[in-house]
A = this chain, B = another copy of it.
């Protein structure tokens, strides 16, 4: 209480002093992200560009709403989700907004607000030690972890840049010496290991320090950001922003932790790159590594379902989408660099706002001019690893619009600590609906009730485990012993990716290290045959090779309600038991089990208003197992969603050959049902060995197709000629569809 009263007096004193000693300089222009040139242009046209006008007005609304709370700079106490955490987070957001608004509206109360709050921080900051919540490997001061600490400075350096002109010399010195410089030192020289880390935490720190360097004309800070800091007597080689840029994105602009983290990691990259482009244009930072930053931005947009939500592989929260601030920056900055990318404008329209800067102005102007083109989602393989040689993430789409079906397959590297043990897992979307889901992370971000908003214990025991995914589990164990270090040593191997034809698109990959002595090879084909079926038919071939006999289990986390199966199963109606005690099985209730008949077995479900059918070729003694997530969950944190699993025991070399059909609709209002049944009548394996896999699908209209894949050579120029069932099959390329 005393401290606050004292602070208020200091502020009053300084304001009075400020008012006496120096006139506010409202011709000072910022330079970090927003620039003088942009400010002049925005002021001139803002009333004529609806999206820009709306963006400024909505920023004003948000900033003014928070300004009503007055200046609150509390002593840090709480973990993520708690009051002081949220308050410091809101403070940087509001300061940034107020700084920008001062520039484009000229209303002095915005600038004064930022000044007064910075002065409060300049008083508080020198009094702070380590954050009292000791839950991070890198403790912050205002926040429980240095990551948040860096984010604060990324925003505040911009806020300061915008309002510096109104400060008296004394105020400027106070804020720089008591706050910004020691803050930047804390993030860099005082915590060199975090700062130099090739990891999104390192990127945020480097960007924060570098942007502060530009804002303060402090060459030393900029240098640290570019090249890292010394960690000890021996200078570390290869750290800082340029190395980050080299290491973290693949040549396809794929970020190894996956899209949810890519979205987060993009922002400091983009902001600092934009700041570099504004202040060191000669570096041509956006052209660096064949334009990797632009590629990364576009890749992030592509790694979404047609609702704009990121594919939730690894520790991802499913609601996160390209509506996030980070992607608004990405869309605007990339369009700012390359105004030919009119497809970005449709995303900007969906986002409904632009960043108040030169790039945002360009976007708003182009939209007002009616230059928008629809965004095109592509079938594409996104290579992982700095050189693109550590596997990949594959995406097949039935078309480029919002009404497409999408299948993804993960055959990348581990993705560091946030990676799951789920090599060769797939997901299926029908339009923006999840049909075969990836569970994502077990976490309620920032919800204090749930372990302070951090990752839940069930994230490790359930969400990371192999059985939680749509991929093969061998002997009820997770891949790579569920050990990140082991898993990080290797990656899956792309076999073939080809999305050039209209009737069939194929992605195929191998994983030989996840289970010792077991080689796995999964092929996903998206077949579009309008003469047979209205929507896509997904062919799923999961080949396993092993010298020893194993228990193989292949789960499908279907979303929705089971409608039908031709398997004679025994449901559990009075008692449920957990399916195991470890490797994630402790989180599954078994709800039913049935022996499949040799031949084609079907499982039909309804999601929303549409039907889906899994048809699979069973061997004698194969089982179909039904289960539901939710066992071993004492705090009721897991989503109780269903699963159906194919199970083959005592098997060595084998093939799980299945199709997944998207078909039919149940009209919610007319109650009419169309296309209730799929068109796949039979699926038969004609051949499966080290050389070839050949599968035949027979349709209900008695037409059929044959799909052939070469398993030991993936040179697309090679020709193949085989005889199966007294029939000759000749083709060139890794695979072929015979109709």
Taking a contact as CB atoms under 8 Å apart, the answer to whether B626 and A636 are in contact is yes
**Do B449 and A81 have beta carbons less than 8 Å apart?**
no
Cross-chain contact A563 with B449 (CB below 8 angstroms): yes
User: By the criterion CB–CB under 8 Å, are A449 and B321 in contact?
Assistant: no
A114 at the A/B interface (Cβ < 8 Å)? no
A449 contacts B676, C-beta separation under 8 Å: yes
Is A673 interfacial (CB 8 A cutoff)?
A: yes
Q: Mark A161-174, 1 if CB is under 8 A from B, else 0.
A: 00000000000000
Question: Is A698 in the interface zone, CB < 8 Å from B?
Answer: no
Given A668-B319, A672-B89: A637 touches B446 (CB 8 Å cut-off): no
Bound state CA distance, A637 and B562, in angstroms?
A: 7
Q: Is A444's CB under 8 angstroms from B606's CB? A: yes
Please name all residues of chain B whose beta carbon is closer than 8 Å to the beta carbon of A673 when the two chains form the complex.
Answer: 81, 86, 446-448, 453
With A and B bound together, what is the CA distance between A574 and B576 in angstroms? 8
Q: Which of A612-667 contact B (CB under 8 A)?
A: 626, 628, 630-637, 639-640, 642, 666
Q: Which of B449, B575, B670, B672 contacts A578 (CB 8 A)?
A: B575
Chain B residues with Cβ below 8 Å from A578 are: 573-575
- The closest CB in chain B to the CB of A319 belongs to B668
Asked if A716 lies at the interface with its beta carbon under 8 angstroms from chain B, I say: no
Closest to A323 in B: B669
* Bound: A448/B664 CA distance, A: 13
In contact, A447 and B571 (Cβ under 8 angstroms) = no
- Are A446 and B672 closer than 8 Å at their CB atoms? yes
Asked if A591 lies at the interface with its beta carbon under 8 angstroms from chain B, I say: yes
Q: Give Cα A445 to B666, complex, Å.
A: 9
- The reply to whether the CB of A181 lies closer than 8 angstroms to some CB of chain B is no
Kindly provide the distance from the CB of A147 to the nearest chain B CB, expressed in whole angstroms.
13
A577 at the interface (CB under 8 A from B): yes
Give min CB distance, A441 to chain B, whole Å.
12
Partner of A562, one of B319, B632, B636: B636
> A604 at the A/B interface (Cβ < 8 Å)?
yes
Least CB distance from A465 to B in Å reads: 16
Query: Once bound together, how far apart are the Cα atoms of A675 and B628, in whole Å?
Result: 32
- Contact in complex: A669, B321 (CB < 8 Å): yes
User: Contact at B604–A668, with CB atoms within 8 Å?
Assistant: no
Query: Please, which residues of chain B bring their CB within 8 A of the CB of A571?
Result: 633-636
Residue A567 interfacial (CB < 8 Å): no
Residues of chain B contacted by A666 (CB below 8 angstroms): 444-447
B668–A563 CB distance below 8 A: no
Instruction: Tell me if A577 and B577 are in contact (CB < 8 A).
Output: no
Q: Roughly how many angstroms separate A507 CA and B618 CA in the complex, as a whole number?
A: 59
> CB-nearest residue of chain B relative to A328?
B669
A435-454 interface with B by 8 A CB criterion: 444-450, 453
Bitwise, A550-567 to B at CB < 8 A (1) or not (0) is 000000000001111000
| Size band of the interface chain A makes with B | 35 or more
Decide if A462 is an interface residue (CB 8 Å cutoff): no
In the complex, are the beta carbons of B669 and A631 less than 8 A apart?
no
Contacts of A592 in B (CB 8 A): 636
Taking a contact as CB atoms under 8 Å apart, the answer to whether A574 and B444 are in contact is no
Q: What separation, in Å, do the CA atoms of A302 and B73 have in the docked complex?
A: 49
**CB-CB nearest in chain B for A264:** B671
Q: Verify if A545 is at the interface (C-beta below 8 Å from B).
A: no
Is there an interface contact between A632 and B669, defined as CB atoms closer than 8 Å?
A: no
A7 close to B (CB within 8 Å): no
Chain B residue numbers with a CB within 8 Å of A626 are: 636
Asked if A632 contacts B449 (CB within 8 A), the reply is no
For A669, give its contact among B320, B453, B635, B642 (CB under 8 Å): B320
| Complex interface: chain B residues within 8 A of A672 (CB) | 86, 89-90, 446
CB pair A450 B563 closer than 8 Å: yes
**A575 cross-chain contacts in B, Cβ below 8 A:** 575-578
A688 proximal to B (CB < 8 A): no
In the complex, residue of chain B having the shortest beta-carbon distance to the beta carbon of A577: B575
Minimum C-beta distance from A601 to chain B (A): 15
| Residues 529 to 561 of chain A near chain B (Cβ within 8 Å) | 561
Residues of B within 8 Å of A407, CB to CB, are: none
Which of the residues B86, B320, B448, B676 comes within 8 Å of A668, measured between beta carbons? B320
A637 lies within 8 A of B574 (CB):
no
Q: Whole-angstrom distance between the alpha carbons of A573 and B636 in the complex? A: 10
Q: Could you say which residues of chain B place their CB within 8 Å of the CB of A222?
A: none
Chain B residues whose CB sits within 8 angstroms of the CB of A160 once the complex forms: none
Task: Say how far A185's CB is from chain B's closest CB, in angstroms.
Answer: 29
Complexed CA–CA distance, A589 and B589 (Å): 12
CB closest residue in chain B, given A563: B449
19 new A-B contacts at CB < 8 Å, known A447-B673, A574-B578: A320-B669, A321-B669, A325-B669, A444-B563, A445-B666, A445-B671, A446-B671, A446-B673, A449-B676, A450-B564, A571-B635, A573-B631, A573-B633, A573-B634, A574-B577, A574-B632, A576-B576, A626-B636, A640-B642
A-B contact pairs, 18 of them (CB 8 A): A90-B672, A317-B671, A319-B668, A445-B666, A446-B672, A447-B673, A449-B604, A450-B563, A450-B564, A453-B673, A571-B633, A571-B635, A575-B577, A576-B589, A591-B630, A591-B636, A592-B636, A626-B636
Task: List the 6 closest A-B pairs by CB distance, nearest first.
Answer: A319-B668, A449-B564, A576-B576, A562-B636, A571-B634, A446-B673
